[in-house]
Amino acid sequence: MIVCPVTLIKNWSQEFKKWLGKDRVRVIVGDSKQAIETFMYSKNYDVIVIGYEKVREHVELLKAAQPPIGLVICDEGHRLKSDKTKTSKALQSLSCMRRVILSGTPIQNNLGEFFAMLADFVNPGILQNADHFKKNFERPIMAARQPDASSKQRQEGAEAQETLAAIRSHFVLRRENSVIVQHLPAKYEYTVFIRPTDLQRAVYREALGNSAIKTMLEGFDVKTGISLLQTLLKLATSPGLLLKQIKVRRLPCFANSNAFPAGTDSADFALSGKFSVLGAMLAELWKSGVEKVVVVSNYTSTLDLIETHCKRQKYPYCRLDGKTPQQDRIPMVDAFNRGPRSRNFVFLLSSKGGGTGLNIIGASRLIQLDSDWNPSNDLQAMARIHREGQTRVCVIYRFLTSGTVDEVIYQRQLTKLALSGSIMAGEGTASSSKSKNTFTADELRNLFTLHEDVACQTHDLLGCRCHLGEPAVDENDAAESESSGDHDDADSSDDDFEGGFVQASQYRDKDSERALARKRRDLSILKTWTHYNTRDLDRVDQIEDILLLSVIYEALERAKLHTSLPKLQEADQNLCGGQIAFVFGQKAGAPAPAAVVSGDE
């Protein structure tokens, strides 16, 4: 029995046919009670592919299968991260002897998930029970990580960690992306930092100028915090998203706003830095004639604006979001992949609308417009085009608006990925099972600050000096001031993001130096990326993606005209809205360049 999200059922059936032919293994889709019964009582089928919901619904029926089901495979098995969910319980009650979990993101938050999902579901009893696990592994490991841990506690923590790693190695099989990547065309990834427009900054400042913010940092009000955060997130994408609400004075922080000139059009791409770049990229790609593109956002309102733009520019597009009926999804993807570009150019995808498992290999470019608090959501979305069957070199762009909340979310993602990587690699880090979804006072301030004149605040935080032509700070410098494995603010579950605000108000950052060092270490993965400061044209010329390169130059030329400065060099000292300010780039599969952070390499 293959259990998977509904969106993947068709994929699974197709894969069986593709790899094993029609007759070797006979597959039935368990989409109705009748189908399940057919599977159970007839000898004609070997495999049933079934959605998680249907398993829950028909578990009693499945239990009665004769002969009993001999192997359960749970695809996207991180859904079972709590042993208390109905789905977990249903699957456990099947008492099938062999259970396999497939997951690209096995540890999203904490050790408790590791116990429930990886250990106890596939190997019931291997770590005895939850209490035993807590007592013998989780607690000592956590205690050892406290700043005031005694040497005995550290010792015990290290031993527990080691034992756990040994047990884990018996049943966890890691297959890194690199295994597949060898068989695929190259993939380039660019994190693109874009200068906000003047209007964008003005409205952002207005939102932050609200007195509520000042009081907020003293005694944090969750409601105000969240609604402000949502406002900022929208602004980081485009002020156009708020135009209507501001005009009718629905948002208190804009009660007296006159930021928008009369007649402003909310779908005008020139309002926003990100959209300016997006517009230029789409135009360039359309002209160049061969490639198709996926544009991803977490917000349907953002997709609405892009849809309007596509209509106006007469770009053929399709759109898949939460409202797209299940049965229309695969046909839509197929049509996009196979159809001519004159009918399928842009694929608008809502990352929360069920993008998992879709193979949108007709496109070789993907633009991710906004970032989610949970990095695995973004990684899922960004993986849509670089998959089996892809024949072109792929380029993936993640857009961030410089100096805004976008950067904070991105940094948070990197921190989380650092955590998950170290647990799976068996390194000495782990995290608490309680969701300590805190923001330090500094982080909170950062969240609600517009860093006006930065090209890339993340790069500044990293402490890298490549933009000055100097080598970066040694990675060890940053980590030295701290004991290793101290990831104590990295284990948040942002599903319940609100919790973070409450706790954050009680948090006092005693040592911001130390916090900065920790931050640097968490971001240190970026040192394996290549850094392109766009004010350094020699550096820009090293960008391998011609599209990105041409968009950067085009904007520079525009800025030159705009500022009427005599030389390009002078224009680029003062970046204009919509210009690309900084880029992190990496090529998948390629070994990390040795001196990536050195400016004169």
Residue with the two structure tokens 């009680």? 506
Q: Is 456 helix (H, G, I), strand (E, B) or coil?
A: coil
Please report how close the Cβ of residue 466 comes to Zn ion at its closest, in angstroms: 3
Please tell me whether the peptide bond between 67 and the residue prior to it is cis, using omega within 30 degrees of 0. yes
User: What span, in angstroms and rounded, lies between the C-alpha atoms of 387 and 321?
Assistant: 21
Give the residue with the Cβ less far from Zn ion, 302 or 530.
Answer: 530
Please report how close the Cβ of residue 543 comes to Zn ion at its closest, in angstroms: 14
DSSP sequence for 58-86:
HHHHHHT-SSPP-EEEETTGGGG-STTSH
What is residue 92's DSSP assignment?
Answer: H
What is residue 220's DSSP assignment?
Answer: -
Please report how close the Cβ of residue 404 comes to Zn ion at its closest, in angstroms: 20
User: What span, in angstroms and rounded, lies between the C-alpha atoms of 121 and 171?
Assistant: 12
Contact between 531 and Zn ion per CB under 5 A: yes
Contact between 523 and Zn ion per CB under 5 A: no
Q: Would you state the structure tokens that stand for residue 461, as one six-digit string?
A: 């935080």
Please report how close the Cβ of residue 459 comes to Zn ion at its closest, in angstroms: 6
Q: Would you state the structure tokens that stand for residue 301, as one six-digit string?
A: 């309102």
Judged by CB under 5 A, the stretch of 106-114, 184-192, 409-417, 459-467 that binds Zn ion is 459-467
Give the residue with the Cβ less far from Zn ion, 220 or 582.
Answer: 582
Tell me how far the alpha carbon of residue 109 is from its chain's centroid.
Answer: 14
Please report how close the Cβ of residue 456 comes to Zn ion at its closest, in angstroms: 9
Q: Which residues contact 434 (CB under 8 A, 6 or more apart)?
A: 110
Judged by CB under 5 A, the stretch of 243-251, 491-499, 523-531, 553-561 that binds Zn ion is 523-531
Q: Is 490 helix (H, G, I), strand (E, B) or coil?
A: coil
Total of residues contacting Zn ion (CB under 5 A): 4
Give every strand in the sheet of 2-4, ordered side by side: 27-29, 47-51, 2-4, 71-74, 98-101
Give the residue among 345, 353, 311 at the shortest CA–CA distance from 329.
Answer: 353
User: What span, in angstroms and rounded, lies between the C-alpha atoms of 198 and 183?
Assistant: 45
Give the residue with the Cβ less far from Zn ion, 50 or 597.
Answer: 597
Please report how close the Cβ of residue 597 comes to Zn ion at its closest, in angstroms: 5
Give the residue with the Cβ less far from Zn ion, 476 or 564.
Answer: 476
Please report how close the Cβ of residue 600 comes to Zn ion at its closest, in angstroms: 12
Judged by CB under 5 A, the stretch of 162-170, 223-231, 414-422, 591-599 that binds Zn ion is 591-599
Residue 354 · residue 7 · CB < 8 Å: yes
Terminal Cα-to-Cα distance of the chain (whole angstroms)? 53
Subset of 147-206 contacting Zn ion (CB under 5 A):
none
Give the residue with the Cβ less far from Zn ion, 10 or 531.
Answer: 531
Contact between 466 and Zn ion per CB under 5 A: yes
Contact pattern for Zn ion over residues 317 through 346, marking x by CB under 5 A: ------------------------------
Give the residue with the Cβ less far from Zn ion, 470 or 495.
Answer: 470
Give the residue with the Cβ less far from Zn ion, 94 or 464.
Answer: 464
Give the residue with the Cβ less far from Zn ion, 352 or 465.
Answer: 465
**Is the four-CA dihedral 92, 94, 95, 100 of positive or negative sign?**
negative
Please report how close the Cβ of residue 58 comes to Zn ion at its closest, in angstroms: 55
Please report how close the Cβ of residue 293 comes to Zn ion at its closest, in angstroms: 28
Residue 285 · residue 365 · CB < 8 Å: yes
Judged by CB under 5 A, the stretch of 42-50, 322-330, 420-428, 528-536 that binds Zn ion is 528-536
For Zn ion, the binding residue among 72, 74, 242, 464 (CB under 5 A) is: 464
Give the residue with the Cβ less far from Zn ion, 310 or 597.
Answer: 597
Which residues sit at the interface with Zn ion, rule CB under 5 A?
464, 466, 531, 597
